[in-house]
Each structure stands twice: as structure tokens, then as C-alpha cells.
């Protein structure tokens, strides 16, 4: 299903003007796909369009940039129609738009809580509905929901975001099985990123003794973009990115009480920073769109990892399986009892 210059495919990405969304758009463009970008701010959206065109180079893909807020169903539907009209039928729809508030729950207003839920969860619901309107008549397409490690384990200081990400999981499971029941070939997959170096933390509203930051280890957004492309072009129900994500989900499933204690002790501190560079990058966008382009990376390049062995293994299960089989066979041969030679 990879894009090519002879028969390019079309991907639409909400939250496509910065961070993971923009990194993903650039990757699809490099592979020759036509890319539809959906975001709120006209200025950042145009900057993202130029960046994606530049990334695509001579790969042959085109770019359509459509201003829309995922909390507005009509605007989202118009954006999807414009993308399809300009680029062709939408093959992949990526629900990626997100906002957050970093604060203790009692300090988050009901309006703020509703806004995070409306963008992160209901934005995914609306995006999925619009995508299905385009895909079900053709009985083809892939919807990729960008969840989070926080969707496997809630964390303090992000109650609204944690709740919305958990809701995304249940929603995807319900719709996936409905599509399976009707025999549809439309597919839904969910990607779970770890802590990622994006402008997300600079955009988030915060009431902390410091400023929001991703807890370590932190990965670069290009790693997540690779996982999203993989999820869109391979039949995987879920794609977890990074050992941190796998460990978080496993620990919470096996020992939730212990995980509660660990989160209470370390999570607030690991999500707070007093770095001046982080302060200079602040650009809150909970209720209003950013006015300046953000790019793909946040202010955490120095401590961010470009590679994950776990993510590589997820994409190369056959190779990992063969290596594991070879290793076990070698170990078995080493442990076999050796026959002792009889002395003459």
C-alpha cells in the first residue's frame, strides 16, 4: 500500500501543522503520497504545507492544506471533501489533533476539561465519522488513531488528557468490531507513542511549579512517524512505540497498585521543568490556534533519542523471530550434554 509516483495514495492528517502530525506528513510525502493537512491556524498551516512540499521533493505527491477545528463537524467534513476533490479518494485518515492541560485536577476548570475532551476524544470520533463517510462506500481505507502511553496508564497532572486517550481506546475497539461484523474492509488501527520531543508541551496550558515537559526517555517525532506509516500500510491492530510504552502498559496490567505508587512519587517531578529554553518556546493553544509555525521538534533535542530497539523489532517481527530461534537453538546446543570419550 506504499505510495508511488505512478499511483499515489492519499493521506489526511488532523493536527498536521506541527509535531507528530507534521513529521508524519513529511514522511508520507517522501514516499510519494498525496498529503492532506488539517489544522486550525492559517499561518502555521501554510508553513507546514511548504515544509511537506519541500520534504516530498521530486517524489510526486501533492499537498492540500485545509483550516478546520476538529471540534467543528461541518468544518471537518468540508476539509475532507476539499482534500478528496484536490488529491483524490482518501486512503488513510490519521486522527492526531491534541491539546492538553498540565495541572492538578482540582485546578482544571470544567471548561478546560471539556475542551481537552472535545479535541482529543470527540475530535477522534468526528474524524472517524468523516473518514468512514469517504471509505465505506468504497469498502477500503485505513483509520489510524494516535493514542499515547497515557492511554495505557493515566498519569497525574494530565487527568483530562489521560481520560480522553483511554476513551479513544474503547471507541476504536467498538468501531473496529462493528466493521468486522459487517464484513467491511475498512480497517482501524491505534498507535501508542511514548514521550516525544514535539511542541505539544509548549502549547499546553499549565499550572505547575515550573513548566510542562515530557518524562524521560524522550524520543524524536520521526520515530513515531515511522510507526504511523507502518500502521497505515500493515495489518496491525495496535502499534506500541518504545520500550517505555510497553513497560508502562505491562506494569499497569500486572501491578496497578504498585504503578499508582510509582506514578504518585515520580510522575509530577518528571513532567516539570525550570529550563529557560522551554520557557521561551511557550505558545499556549488550548482555545485559540498558534499564530507562529512550530515545526516538528520541541525544545528537547539534546535529550531525545532517534532510535528505539523495540520500535525496530515491531516493524521486523520476522527478523526478530528468526534471530530468537537461532539464539535459542545455539543455546540449546551449548547446553546439550557432551558424550565423554572412553579412554583406551
Residue 166 appears among annotated catalytic residues? no
**Residue 187: which H helix or E strand, with range?**
strand 187-192
Q: How far apart (Å, rounded) are the C-alpha atoms in residues 88 and 305?
A: 36
Whether the Cβ atoms of residue 207 and residue 106 lie closer than 8 Å to each other: no
Q: Show the cell assigned to 330.
A: 545455539
Reported residue count of the chain is 344
Contacting residues for 218 by C-beta, under 8 A, at least 6 apart = 194, 195, 196, 197, 300, 303, 304, 305
Contacting residues for 243 by C-beta, under 8 A, at least 6 apart = 308, 309, 310
Whether cis (ω within 30° of 0) applies to the bond prior to 217 is yes
Q: Write b or e for each residue in 176-191: b if 16 or more Cβ atoms lie within 10 A of its Cβ, otherwise e.
A: beebeeeebebbbbbb
Pick the catalytic residue from 161, 166, 192, 201.
161
Question: Hey, which residues are catalytic here?
Answer: 161
Amino acid at each position: 500500500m506504499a505510495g508511488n509516483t505512478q499511483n499515489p495514495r492519499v493521506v489526511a492528517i488532523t493536527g498536521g501543522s506541527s509535531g507528530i502530525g507534521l513529521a508524519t506528513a513529511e514522511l508520507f510525502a517522501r514516499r510519494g503520497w498525496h498529503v492532506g493537512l488539517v489544522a486550525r491556524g492559517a499561518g502555521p498551516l501554510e508553513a507546514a504545507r511548504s515544509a511537506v512540499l519541500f520534504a516530498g521533493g521530486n517524489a510526486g505527491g501533492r499537498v492540500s492544506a485545509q483550516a478546520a477545528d476538529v471540534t467543528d463537524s461541518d468544518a471537518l467534513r468540508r476539509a475532507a471533501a476539499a482534500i478528496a476533490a484536490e488529491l483524490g479518494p482518501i486512503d488513510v485518515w490519521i486522527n492526531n489533533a491534541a491539546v492538553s492541560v498540565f495541572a492538578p485536577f482540582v485546578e482544571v476548570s470544567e471548561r478546560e476539561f471539556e475542551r481537552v475532551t472535545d479535541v482529543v476524544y470527540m475530535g477522534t470520533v468526528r474524524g472517524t465519522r468523516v473518514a468512514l463517510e469517504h471509505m465505506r462506500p468504497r469498502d477500503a481505507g485505513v483509520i489510524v488513531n494516535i493514542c499515547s502511553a497515557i492511554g495505557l496508564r493515566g498519569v497525574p497532572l494530565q487527568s483530562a488528557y489521560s481520560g480522553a486517550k483511554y476513551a479513544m481506546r474503547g471507541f476504536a475497539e467498538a468501531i473496529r468490531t462493528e466493521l468486522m461484523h459487517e464484513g467491511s474492509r475498512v480497517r482501524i488501527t491505534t498507535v501508542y507513542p511514548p514521550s516525544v520531543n514535539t511542541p505539544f508541551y509548549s502549547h499546553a496550558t499549565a499550572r505547575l511549579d515550573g513548566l510542562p515537559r515530557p518524562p524521560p526517555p524522550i524520543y524524536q517525532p520521526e520515530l513515531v512517524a515511522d510507526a504511523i506509516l507502518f500502521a497505515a500500510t500493515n495489518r496491525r491492530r495496535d502499534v506500541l512505540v518504545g520500550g517505555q510504552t510497553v513497560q508502562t502498559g505491562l506494569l499497569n496490567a500486572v501491578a496497578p497498585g504498585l504503578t499508582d505508587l510509582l506514578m504518585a512519587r515520580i510522575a509530577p517531578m518528571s513532567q516539570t521543568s525550570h529550563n529557560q529554553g522551554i520557557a521561551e518556546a511557550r505558545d499556549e493553544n488550548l482555545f485559540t490556534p498558534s499564530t507562529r509555525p512550530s515545526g516538528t521538534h520541541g525544545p528537547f533535542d539534546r535529550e531525545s533519542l532517534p532510535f528505539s530497539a523495540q520500535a525496530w523489532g515491531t516493524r521486523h517481527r520476522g527478523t526478530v523471530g528468526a534471530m530468537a530461534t537461532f539464539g535459542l537453538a545455539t543455546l540449546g546446543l551449548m547446553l546439550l550434554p557432551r558424550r565423554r570419550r572412553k579412554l583406551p
